[in-house]
């Protein structure tokens, strides 16, 4: 099992070549970071708005959906 150490699901979907550039604060968009082991993390970024289904502190298993791209 892996622990969710960060999760965001409050950014609008980014559109390629949009007239407004994306700021550094929102560059990764909706995302999930999992702690796999000491010092080893997995970072899933650019997830579709409204699809992140995990929260910080939750434990997830291999194959479990954490969000959609």
42-65 pLDDT, tens per residue? 999 999 999 999 999 999 999 999
Residue 45 parent element (H or E): strand 40-47
Q: Is 45 exposed, middle or buried (0-12, 13-18, 19+ CB in 10 A)?
A: middle
pTM beyond cutoff 0.75: yes
Encoded tokens for 28: 């990764």
């Amino acid at each position: 099992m892996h622990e969710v150490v960060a999760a965001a699901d409050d950014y609008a979907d980014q559109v390629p070549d949009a007239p407004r550039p994306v700021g550094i604060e929102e560059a990764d968009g909706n995302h999930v970071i999992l702690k796999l082991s000491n010092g080893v993390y997995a970072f899933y970024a650019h997830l579709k708005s409204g699809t992140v289904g995990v929260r910080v502190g939750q434990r997830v298993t291999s194959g479990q959906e954490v969000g959609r791209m």
